[in-house]
Structure 1
Amino acid sequence: MKRRDLLGLSVGAGAAAALAACGSSGPSNGGGGNTAGAATYWGLSGPPSEPLRRAAIDRFNAANPDTRIDALYFQNDAYKQKIKTSLGAGEGPSMVFNWGGGGLKTYVEAGQVDDLTDWFAQNAAVKDKIIPASFGAATVNGKIYARPVESMSPIVLFYNKKLFDQIGAQPPQTYGEILDLVPKFNAKGIAPFSLAGQSRWTNMMWVEFLLDRTAGSEVFDRVFAGEANAWSDPAVLNTLTKIQDLVRADGFIKGFSSITADSNADQALLYTGKAAMLLHGSWSYGIQKATGGDFVPSGALGYMNFPPVDGGKGDSSNVVGNPGLYLSISSKATDAQKDVAKKFFSTTLAEDAEFASWVGAGYVPVLKGTDAQFAAAPNADFIKFVSGTVSQAKVFAQSWDQALSPTAAENLLDNIAKLFQLQVSPQQWVDSMNGVIGK
């Protein structure tokens, strides 16, 4: 299967935002607590997304008194561990929240989720409302195994305008200008970049963008296709060297390897003026608005797509991130639970209140023809930026840890963490990653 077929990366419609690396200390109950016979849902916790998810389920339960969905919410990293072990033990929720791609493919191969192709054929009105590009990561071997929900989430370069004014600088238009800014911010006691390095996937964003801008999307396409030694491309060594050069130049906040994304501490460093820039998912806008006081309302938050690398071959319009969030149906669910899940699939995002709530929080729902409705949104400028960035992108590449199999993804994240901590050389990184291609 070609990566383009799997991920639907050539995008021609507006979309954006929501992975929510969230902030509760553990699972939180959504009300109802495992009612007998109810369909069950596990989702991600923390503002601004969790309240929107809760409200959607509450509306469904109120409108369908003879059925029920019971929900639990987990932090991002905790959820990824919990869902893997629970599905393996046959004890997962009725509705399986996921990111599509390689993780979903693993669920499919293990027989853990249902084929929804016929359901979508019978419910064409539901499918026709959803942006086609979001179905790529929901598709395995030509069949659909997940319902795209919520929104797409490209990775965005955020910056603190006040700190740029403080050193008399403009936002970087090339990677070379990023490197020029590093010593200038350090001289003022400001970290050039915030980074939640302990969470690993945040580090991955840097490798994804730098490789794309240096060599284009073709290198990772070959990795995804299972081509032997695909990581040995010289552009990979070039990219990894750039990363370690940036670490050695104090490009990132000191102690970044002990900062977690689930705590949102990396975002707090940006809006409190401790760091000048942050490479993060577009969902960060909503988190910063919810937790950053007047930082966002005052207009101090800037945002842009990652700039081109000097002399690089990659198209500077390309984006990386997640082309959607997804809900699948557990093959272990009862028939009654599956019926409830499918009814929910027919209504989620279709209600005006839910659509408006996602737009109001700074997200672009995974629906067609919604651009006109952004103009009156309280976050109109950011939503238009995200919509325009995605619609103009030549390639919207799915995050590597979601595109690859869980085995390859874990090795990837482990090696990326070691790369940033200067514990492996670029060549050692390449050798290790070549060893798990296709696994």
Structure 2
Amino acid sequence: MKKLTVVLSSVLALSTLLAACGEKQGGDNTSAGAAKSGAGSSKIKLSIWHNFSGDDLRAKAVRAQIEKFKQANPEIELDAQAIPPDGYRQRLKTVAAANEMPDVFFTQSGTSIKEYYEGGLLQPITPLLDKYPDWKNNFFQGAFDPLSFDNKVYATPLSASATSLFFYNKSLFDKYNVKVPKTWDELMAAVKTFKDNNITPISLGNKAAWLAQSSILSSLANRVTGTEWFLKAAKQDGAKFTDPEFVQALTYFKSLADAGAFQQGFNSLDNTQMEQYFVQGKAAMMIDGAWALTNMAASGTKEQLDQVEVTVLPAIPGGKGDPNTISGGAGGGLALSKNVTGKKLDAALELIYTVSGPEGMQAIAESNSLVNYNVKIDPAKVTPLFYKAYTLTQNVKFTPVYDAVLSSAGAEAINNGLQELLIGGKPEDIAKKLQDAQAKSIGK
């Protein structure tokens, strides 16, 4: 996969040539970046793209804040597009390559926002933070780090990213007298017991390929290799993904599939189907991100949710990583296209503030979503499950999510590789594919 910046260089060079020839661009005001004021209209035209398209409570909370901005600003013609998560990143990359970014758009932290920054597609939102210092200072320490470059902030996190929560159905564990696993051997014993009793041990929906990587491997591999090794391997500086410890991590992952831990067709199910399968009591365990909290709160009954407990992934024998950890960190946020200027820039910044300001943060937190913002959560306004997860995340450390650190090519290689691994692929082969992709993409 070519670096985004290389693609952009060619596109921008072509657009410069066309401009020099006096040729007028033919885009209309409905395109992603077409939020310019029309000559015959006094309205400011502003576009926003995001991936909060579902029926979960967080998505509804974000969309409600966008609608609130729209109603409060009738002089602004707002084009808001909610795009399903599975295809969202590719849609953004497509318009990025054509230099037609929406005015405001949601981007993940880490590699995703870094590529847009390196492609020269963003402008900082630091002036907005300076305008509202109390809001800025209420974010947790380090919340802006994955969204900042050269001491300037390019997005504010809409949520905290906890990608590897270990959910289990306590009623099924009690019924079959299974111990909540704290070690890998105990996890494999639990898998066997549930499998023997015709209960799916672990619900998995890996259709979009990223979930197995983000929710399981990121945490599992960290327990084996430790964080320092992974960061070195990502930089190709003193470690490689073909090293024995990473192959061992993949082998642990493969052993789950070999033991029949997952339901049939897991590579054809998406994460929403996976979560519904679990909350309905068809699986005993699920390893998923914090987004599952708001998804299950929207689809599960009180009786179903009362059966669910949450903890951390079991420890690995002899592992170099801290077992009291969860992969995650600062989540993504709303970024600003470099092309937005004047009154439209003022409007765009206020839109970002409406969604991610104090009121927005409170609404998102009360939608059963973790946030990197100091809010006082009323237990009566969230599910008991969310409150358990919230309390858990206050008492663990966070480790890197693979696709937030790897290059796009590296992330794609491991995502596709895990799909292959889970249906019989060899750990050594998957490790080599990741190593080759990561080394090539960063020029090592």
Q: 2:385 aligns with which of 382, 386, 399?
A: 382
1:393 aligned partner: 396
How far 1:239 sits from its partner (Å)?
A: 0.9
> Any conservation in 1 of the 2:409–2:438 contact (CA below 8 Å)?
no
How far 1:228 sits from its partner (Å)?
A: 5.9
Q: 2:252 aligns with which of 242, 258, 263?
A: 242
1:309 aligns with 2:316: yes
1:367 aligns with 2:373: yes
> Any conservation in 2 of the 1:155–1:319 contact (CA below 8 Å)?
yes
> Any conservation in 1 of the 2:164–2:216 contact (CA below 8 Å)?
no
Give structure 1 stretches of 5+ with no counterpart.
Answer: 1-28
Which whole-Å CA distance do the structure 2 matches of 1:400 and 1:141 have between them?
Answer: 23
Q: Secondary structure at the match of 1:114?
A: coil
1:95 aligns with 2:98: no
How far 1:149 sits from its partner (Å)?
A: 2.0
1:226 aligned partner: 236
| Aligned-CA RMSD value | 2.4
> Any conservation in 1 of the 2:124–2:152 contact (CA below 8 Å)?
yes
How far 1:52 sits from its partner (Å)?
A: 0.9
| AA aligned opposite 1:326 | G
1:287 aligned partner: 295
How far 1:84 sits from its partner (Å)?
A: 0.9
How far 1:275 sits from its partner (Å)?
A: 1.3
Q: How does 1:127-166 map to 2 (within 5 A)?
A: 127-166=136-175
Which whole-Å CA distance do the structure 1 matches of 2:86 and 2:288 have between them?
Answer: 16
> Any conservation in 2 of the 1:103–1:403 contact (CA below 8 Å)?
no
Larger Rg: 2
Q: Structure 1 residues 401 and 145, CA, compared in 2 at 3 Å: closer, same or farther?
A: same
How far 1:209 sits from its partner (Å)?
A: 1.5
> Any conservation in 1 of the 2:48–2:102 contact (CA below 8 Å)?
yes
| AA aligned opposite 1:419 | L
Which whole-Å CA distance do the structure 2 matches of 1:228 and 1:85 have between them?
Answer: 34
Q: Structure 1 residues 118 and 290, CA, compared in 2 at 3 Å: closer, same or farther?
A: closer
TM-score by length of 2: 0.83
Q: Structure 1 residues 150 and 433, CA, compared in 2 at 3 Å: closer, same or farther?
A: closer
Which whole-Å CA distance do the structure 1 matches of 2:141 and 2:419 have between them?
Answer: 34
How far 1:120 sits from its partner (Å)?
A: 3.4
2:18 aligned partner: none
Mean Cα deviation higher: 73-82 or 327-336: 327-336
Which whole-Å CA distance do the structure 2 matches of 1:430 and 1:46 have between them?
Answer: 34
> Any conservation in 2 of the 1:151–1:366 contact (CA below 8 Å)?
yes
Q: Structure 1 residues 313 and 402, CA, compared in 2 at 3 Å: closer, same or farther?
A: closer
How far 1:300 sits from its partner (Å)?
A: 1.0
How far 1:351 sits from its partner (Å)?
A: 4.8
> Any conservation in 1 of the 2:129–2:136 contact (CA below 8 Å)?
yes
How far 1:47 sits from its partner (Å)?
A: 2.1
Q: How does 1:388-427 map to 2 (within 5 A)?
A: 388-394=391-397, 396-423=398-425, 425-427=426-428
2:184 aligned partner: 175
Which whole-Å CA distance do the structure 2 matches of 1:76 and 1:322 have between them?
Answer: 19
> Any conservation in 1 of the 2:121–2:337 contact (CA below 8 Å)?
yes
Give structure 2 stretches of 5+ with no counterpart.
Answer: 1-29, 39-43
1:195 aligned partner: 204
Which gives a bigger RCO, structure 1 or 2 (Cα 8 Å, sep 6+)?
Answer: 1
Q: Structure 1 residues 413 and 119, CA, compared in 2 at 3 Å: closer, same or farther?
A: same
